[in-house]
Amino acid sequence: MSKTFINISFRLTVMMMACAVCYATDPIIQTSFTADPAPLVHDGVVYLYTGHDDDNAPPGQSRFLMRDWLCYSSTDMVNWTDHGAVVSLKTFPWAVQENDAWASHVIKRNGKFYFYASVSVPGWPKNVIAVAVADHPLGPFKDTLGRPLIDKKTGYIDPAAFIDDDGQAYLYWGNPHIWYVKLNENMISYSGDIIQEPTKPDNYQEGPWVYKRDGWYYMVYASTCCPEGIGYAMSDSPTGPWVYKGYIMRPDRRSTGNHPGVIEYKGKWYVFGFNFKLNFALTDQHHERRSVCVAEIQYNPDGTIQQLPWWEEVDAVKQSEPLNPYVRVEAETIAWSEGMKSEPSSAGGMNVYPTRDGAYIKVQGVDFGDEGAGAFTASIALDTQADAMKNTVIALHLDNVGGPLIGAVPVSYSGGQWKRETIAISQATGVRDLYFVFKGAAAGNHVKFDYWQFSKKGDTP
């Protein structure tokens, strides 16, 4: 055996064992179909608001089925905790209730969180912009106006707010034109005329996202319908003129849309968008069942942005810090999953459940430390005494779905009530990817998993 082969093989083994390079996998949410990402950084946490394409969205382009908006959070950019629907059409009782919960944007000001979204009202044109307010990024969000903030006119979709350094806030929106207005300090009213931006950048289609970096204003947007890429323009003012600078991501036939959102988090910049990878893993028919993706972006010295390849080819995002397993972790904290769904938990927050035997969750870059874990506790529930479920376990594997087994939690009948199960653990040290594999779980929604926590060797669970 050659020395080179031994070295490569050793390096690969070390990477797998120690998770030397911990990556996210696009799309970043697999338990629901998500679209129109609107990330917000608050108190060291990324809150990712998304549109929600219903699993039953009918086949065909532009046949959206959207009734609420979801939220996920992360502190490492690869493990995302599911908070479920934080706003729904019910928040706006004056809006059409069956559909059209389109793109949203959340911004904070003076301790409050302002949620702007496209909804529809009866008649044509139908799109308007609603606003709701909360004291916390996860809500509850309340419709304080009881009517649209921006009323009917063609193209009133895809709101995005921006607050300049001088405190002036702006709301942008529109397809196929860009509109903007100056928001008042209360963020739920505006002053002056609604202006149609005269310097609409090349390829602009929809989904504007405005931010400022190093004195430059950036407008990032879904471009070139259809398919959509992500284009961007720069300006020395929040009201333009906007100068087109090119693509952050070129359009690709694999996706009709690509509505973007951009943030800076822990010193790195990220662009979010979406693809149809999960839909096309299920069927070759187009359904409006989209999935949010993320990639890191790099700036050139002149402030322009380096182009990225399409989502399926883009470099995976690096985990910004390892996950601590010695505190309570919500089971709906996921880097990647297959066959899993989430739902509101009877204990508050969300829980997850497997929809089939072999369904699994990957939690990336878990730091067990040098001494390692001695025990594992999970809050689980089972609501059936069916023979088929008698031997169900949650098997804990490291590194990959069939990697070293460090323990298996028996899932026993609890009448559907939450029950804590603790098992002994061995051989979990260092930074490793952790897999929860549901073995013996029958189809349906019977095994529920709410949260988990490891105890260090020698500590009482």
Quote the least distance from Cβ 152 to ligand FUB, whole Å: 16
> Which amino acid belongs to residue 324?
N
Q: Is residue 51 at the binding interface for ligand FUB, with CB under 6 A as the rule?
A: yes
Out of 47, 92, 102, 454, the residue judged to bind ligand FUB by CB under 6 A: 102
Residue (278 or 347) nearer to ligand FUB, CB: 278
Q: Is residue 54 at the binding interface for ligand FUB, with CB under 6 A as the rule?
A: no
- Torsion angle defined by CA atoms of residues 296, 299, 300 and 303, in that order, rounded to the nearest 10 degrees: 160
Residue (26 or 158) nearer to ligand FUB, CB: 158
Residue (35 or 130) nearer to ligand FUB, CB: 35
For residue 321, is it left (φ>0), alpha (ψ between -120 and 50) or beta? beta
Query: What 3-state class would DSSP assign to 435?
Result: strand
Out of 108, 259, 289, 341, the residue judged to bind ligand FUB by CB under 6 A: 259
Query: What 3-state class would DSSP assign to 4?
Result: helix
Q: How many angstroms separate the CA atoms of 312 and 64, rounded? A: 23
Q: How many angstroms separate the CA atoms of 349 and 183, rounded? A: 33
The one-character DSSP state at 94 is T
Per-residue tokens: 363: 């939690």
Q: Is residue 64 at the binding interface for ligand FUB, with CB under 6 A as the rule?
A: yes
Near ligand FUB in 135-164, by CB under 6 A? 157-158
Quote the least distance from Cβ 123 to ligand FUB, whole Å: 19
Q: Is residue 206 at the binding interface for ligand FUB, with CB under 6 A as the rule?
A: yes
Determine contact, residues 317/335, Cβ cutoff 8 Å: no
Out of 148, 257, 354, 365, the residue judged to bind ligand FUB by CB under 6 A: 257
Residue (102 or 368) nearer to ligand FUB, CB: 102
Per-residue tokens: 147: 């009517």
Determine contact, residues 146/130, Cβ cutoff 8 Å: no
Quote the least distance from Cβ 36 to ligand FUB, whole Å: 5
Maximum distance among all Cα pairs of the chain, rounded to whole angstroms: 76
Residue (208 or 354) nearer to ligand FUB, CB: 208
Q: Is residue 207 at the binding interface for ligand FUB, with CB under 6 A as the rule?
A: yes
Quote the least distance from Cβ 433 to ligand FUB, whole Å: 32
Q: Is residue 35 at the binding interface for ligand FUB, with CB under 6 A as the rule?
A: yes
Residues 6+ away with beta carbon under 8 Å from 45: 73, 74, 75, 137
CA distances for 419 relative to 12, 185, 350, 408, angstroms:
39, 48, 16, 16
Q: Is residue 36 at the binding interface for ligand FUB, with CB under 6 A as the rule?
A: yes
Residue (31 or 258) nearer to ligand FUB, CB: 258
Total residues contacting ligand FUB by CB under 6 A comes to 14
Quote the least distance from Cβ 256 to ligand FUB, whole Å: 9
Residue (84 or 207) nearer to ligand FUB, CB: 207
Residue (222 or 361) nearer to ligand FUB, CB: 222
Strands 127-134 and 160-163, sheet pairing = unpaired
Question: Which of 257, 254, 190, 191 minimizes the C-alpha distance to 230?
Answer: 257
Binding residues vs ligand FUB (CB under 6 A): 35-36, 51, 64, 102-103, 118, 157-158, 206-207, 222, 257, 259
